[in-house]
Structure 1
Amino acid sequence: MSTAYLSRLTLRQVRIFLAVCQQESYSRAAEELALTQPAVSAQVRNLEELIGEPLFDYVGKRLSLTPAGRAMRRAGQDLMRRLVRVEMELAELRGVMQGTLTLAVESSAQYFMPERLAAFCRRHPEVEVQMRVLNHGEALKSLREDRYDLTIMGQVPDDRRLRFVPFRQNDLVAVAVPGHPLQDMEAVPLTRFLEFPLLSREPGSGTRLVFEELCQSRGLRPGRRQQLGSQEAIKAGVIAGLGLAVLPRDACREELAAGRLVTLDVDGLPLKRSWCVVHPRARHLTPVADAFLKALTTV
Structure 2
Amino acid sequence: MHYTLNQLRIFVAVVKAQSVTKASEELHLSQPAVSIQLKNFEAQFDIPLTEVIGRKIYITDFGYEIAAAAESIIEQVHAINYKTLAYKGQLTGKLKISVVSTGKYVMPFFLSEFLVQHAGIELLMDVTNKNRVLESLESNDVDFALVSILPTTINIEWLDLLPNRLYLIGKAGQKVTGSGDVNELFKDLPLIFREKGSGTRLVMERFIAERNISVLKKMELTSNEAVKQAILAGLGYSIMPLIGIKNELNNHELEIIEVPGLPVKTTWSLIWLKEKKHSHASSSFLEWMKCKKSEIIEHNFNWCAQYR
Cα gap change, 1:199 to 1:93, in 2 (>3 Å): same
Match of 1:174 among 153, 161, 168: 168
Cα gap change, 1:280 to 1:180, in 2 (>3 Å): same
The residue aligned with 1:226 is 219
Match of 1:132 among 110, 126, 132: 126
Q: How does 1:15-94 map to 2 (within 5 A)?
A: 27=18, 37=59, 38-39=61-62
Q: Greater shift after overlay, 114-123 or 267-276?
A: 114-123
C-alpha deviation, 1:221, in angstroms: 4.5
Cα distance per residue 1:136-188 (max 9 Å; x no partner): 111121122111111111112113522222111111111111112238x7655
Q: How does 1:137-156 map to 2 (within 5 A)?
A: 137-156=131-150
The residue aligned with 1:237 is 230
Partners of 1:159 and 1:254 lie apart in 2 by: 36
The residue aligned with 1:197 is 190
Partners of 2:234 and 2:92 lie apart in 1 by: 48
Cα distance per residue 1:205-263 (max 9 Å; x no partner): 11011111122222235331111222111111111110001111111111111111000
Q: TM-score, normalised by structure 1?
A: 0.68
The residue aligned with 1:293 is 286
Cα gap change, 1:131 to 1:188, in 2 (>3 Å): farther
Cα gap change, 1:191 to 1:131, in 2 (>3 Å): farther
Partners of 2:82 and 2:272 lie apart in 1 by: 19
Cα gap change, 1:160 to 1:206, in 2 (>3 Å): closer
The residue aligned with 1:281 is 274
The residue aligned with 1:14 is none
The residue aligned with 2:35 is none
The residue aligned with 1:77 is none
Consecutive unaligned residues in structure 2, runs of 5 or more: 1-11, 27-37, 39-48, 51-58, 67-74, 295-308
Q: TM-score, normalised by structure 2?
A: 0.67
Amino acid at match of 1:294: E
Match of 2:201 among 184, 196, 208: 208
Q: Do the aligned residues in 1 keep the contact of 2:147 with 2:271 (CA within 8 Å)?
A: yes
Partners of 2:171 and 2:117 lie apart in 1 by: 41
Consecutive unaligned residues in structure 1, runs of 5 or more: 1-18, 20-24, 44-79
Question: Are residue 123 (structure 1) and residue 117 (structure 2) matched?
Answer: yes
Question: Are residue 258 (structure 1) and residue 248 (structure 2) matched?
Answer: no
Cα gap change, 1:160 to 1:128, in 2 (>3 Å): closer
Cα gap change, 1:290 to 1:188, in 2 (>3 Å): farther
Give percent identity, aligned residues only.
26
C-alpha deviation, 1:99, in angstroms: 1.4
The residue aligned with 1:46 is none
Q: Do the aligned residues in 2 keep the contact of 1:101 with 1:127 (CA within 8 Å)?
A: yes
